[in-house]
Amino acid sequence: MPVISVPYAFNEEELYVDLQAIFGQSLFLKCEGLNFAGSIKLKAATEMVEAAEREGALTPDSVLVESSSGNLGVALSMIAASKGYRFLCVTDSRCNLSTRLMMEALGSQVHVIAADESGNGFLGARLDYVRDLCASDDRWVWLSQYTNPGNWQAHYRTTAPAIARWFPHLDVLFIGAGTTGTLMGCARYFRQWHRPVQIVAVDSVGSVTFGGAPGRRMIPGLGMSVPPPLLDESFVDEAVRVAEADTVRACHQLARHGFLFGGSTGTVVSGAMDWLSRHDTRGLTAVAIAPDLGERYLDTIYQANWVQDLYGEDMLGSDGASGEAAPAESREIRPAPPRRAEDPYPRPQRKEQAGDI
């Protein structure tokens, strides 16, 4: 029987769900939400905090601050409570109510950006707020999940090797694209593996991660309104975009079989099923990463009024999900040299200034 003394010491790494019986396609879903933070973000949060401690950036007087749509904020709240740090999560109005309440229950402060005042989407407004805080007082410590190499290194060290242990003949891996930390860590690991693995990134329609015009996105988690600095497209073979309505359909289909997953997982599963339906899957070993569980989406994705208000009266039928899913958009990623122009998320220049935090 395992015994732990800190909450981040527990993270179930070895559980997969076979989706063949639910969707009619062979796909093994790696469940990453079985920890006290409830999502895959626990790995990146732990790596970034411990790296900041090793580097001396975190002191007893420090106050952690991070921009997050929810899951990383919960993970950092849990770690901060365990280690005795103060933490402020800067989020926006799309963050689920249950997620905000969870962060506050863990002792964190939550600042909600109610409107896009920057012209760069909610993310741009959140980042502006964090930069201003860090410029006002040197005690603020911004881990910057969008630029921090610990984000992808966590998955290079843990997530990818765990998949490799169970699936030595892996052919294709489906990974959701948010900050692209999970995507880049796993892609780099399997690029060096003993056999070729096709890396398929799954993104949301309306995200600009792989090009295209920005659009409305109401489900937090995947997608970006600004190209993510961590992304190196030369490691990605193909990108699939999923409409949010199809995310909801996939979540409800899983729930009808007893699996309550979150919005990011629904997007990954929908994109993976579309890709598999368009390819010869005979003898193919396919794995997808499920970043989160579904309890935090009970008042959104699993709430009929919310779904119907956003996606139409016919979106959900009496059985919970109706209508055909539209084919996901897909494009092949051509290998290219890593693009590293100016960092769109430069770390703030801090200055000392008295005042309460």
pLDDT tens digits for range 85-97 = 999 999 988 888 8
pLDDT band at 37 (very low <50, low <70, confident <90, very high): very high
With 80 as the cut, is the pLDDT of residue 350 above it? Answer: no
Q: Round the average pLDDT of the chain to a whole number and report it.
A: 88
* Percentage of the chain modeled with pLDDT above 70: 86
Reported as a single tens digit per residue, the pLDDT across 3-16 is 999 999 999 999 99
Range 117-121 average pLDDT: 58
pLDDT band at 119 (very low <50, low <70, confident <90, very high): low
Please give the pLDDT value at position 1: 56
Reported as a single tens digit per residue, the pLDDT across 147-192 is 999 999 999 999 999 999 999 999 999 999 999 999 999 999 999 9
pLDDT band at 198 (very low <50, low <70, confident <90, very high): very high
C-alpha distance from residue 60 to each of 53, 64, 353 (Å): 10, 11, 18
C-alpha distance from residue 267 to each of 28, 60, 199, 226, 320 (Å): 15, 39, 16, 19, 17
pTM of the model: 0.88
Burial class of residue 50 (count of CB atoms within 10 Å of its CB; 0-12, 13-18, 19+): middle
Residue type present at position 244? E
Residue type present at position 48? M
